[in-house]
Amino acid sequence: MSASRHPALFATDPELASFVAAEENLQAETLRLIPSENYVSAAVLEASGTVLQNKYSEGYPGRRYYEGQQNIDKVEALAVERAKGLFGVDHANVQPYSGSPANLAVYLAFAEPGDTVMGMALPMGGHLTHGWGVSATGSWFRGVQYGVRPETGLIDYDAVRELALTERPKIIFCGGTALPRTIDFAAFASIAEEAGSVLVADVAHIAGLIAGGAHPSPAGHVDVISTTTHKTLRGPRGAMLMCREEHAKAIDKAVFPGLQGGPHNQTTAGIAVALHEAAQPAFTAYAHAVVANAKALAEALLARGFDLVSGGTDNHLILMDLTSRDVPGKVAAKALDRAGIVVNYNTVPFDPRKPFDPSGIRIGTPSLTSRGLGVGQMGQVAEWIARAVEAAAKSDEAALATIRAEVASLLSTYPAPGLPLS
Ligand X SMILES: *Cc1c(COP(=O)(O)O)cnc(C)c1O
Number of residues this chain uses to bind ligand X (CB under 6 A): 14
User: Could you say whether residue 346 binds ligand X (CB under 6 A)?
Assistant: no
351 is catalytic: no
Query: d(Cα 379, Cα 374) in Å, to the nearest integer?
Result: 10
Nearer to ligand X, 229 or 265 (CB): 229
84 is catalytic: no
User: Could you say whether residue 129 binds ligand X (CB under 6 A)?
Assistant: yes
The residue from 30, 177, 228, 365 that is catalytic is: 228
Nearer to ligand X, 216 or 420 (CB): 216
- Residue 163 in marked binding region: no
Least Å from the CB of residue 70 to ligand X: 30
Which residues touch 151 (CB under 8 Å, ≥6 apart)? none
58 is catalytic: yes
CA-CA distances (angstroms) from residue 128 to 119, 240, 248? 9, 18, 25
231 is catalytic: yes
Least Å from the CB of residue 235 to ligand X: 12
The residue from 76, 202, 223, 252 that is catalytic is: 202
Of 157-176, binders to ligand X (CB under 6 A) are 175-176
User: Could you say whether residue 358 binds ligand X (CB under 6 A)?
Assistant: no
Check whether the bond before 328 is cis (ω within 30° of 0). no
Tally of CB atoms within 10 A around 414: 15
* Residue from the set 163, 204, 308, 363 that interacts with ligand X by CB under 6 A: 204
Of 93-122, binders to ligand X (CB under 6 A) are 98-100, 103
User: Could you say whether residue 344 binds ligand X (CB under 6 A)?
Assistant: no
* Residue from the set 48, 69, 177, 310 that interacts with ligand X by CB under 6 A: 177
- Residue 128 in marked binding region: yes
Nearer to ligand X, 100 or 265 (CB): 100
User: Could you say whether residue 232 binds ligand X (CB under 6 A)?
Assistant: no
Least Å from the CB of residue 191 to ligand X: 19
Least Å from the CB of residue 361 to ligand X: 17
Least Å from the CB of residue 177 to ligand X: 4
237 is catalytic: yes
Nearer to ligand X, 177 or 310 (CB): 177
* Residue from the set 32, 82, 91, 127 that interacts with ligand X by CB under 6 A: 127
User: Could you say whether residue 202 binds ligand X (CB under 6 A)?
Assistant: yes
- Residue 122 in marked binding region: yes
Cα of 224 vs its chain's centroid, Å? 17
Which residues touch 169 (CB under 8 Å, ≥6 apart)? 115, 116, 117, 118, 144, 195, 197
Nearer to ligand X, 69 or 100 (CB): 100
- Residue 302 in marked binding region: no
**Structural contact between residues 23 and 37, judged by C-beta atoms closer than 8 angstroms:** no
Least Å from the CB of residue 122 to ligand X: 11
The residue from 5, 37, 56, 149 that is catalytic is: 56
* Residue from the set 82, 205, 221, 295 that interacts with ligand X by CB under 6 A: 205
- Residue 276 in marked binding region: no
383 is catalytic: no
- Which residues participate in the annotated binding site for (6S)-5,6,7,8-tetrahydrofolate? 122, 126-128, 245
Q: Which residues are annotated as a binding site?
A: 122, 126-128, 245
| Site residues (vs ligand X, CB under 6 A) | 36, 98-100, 103, 127, 129, 175-177, 202, 204-205, 228
Q: What are the catalytic residues?
A: 56, 58, 202, 228, 231, 237
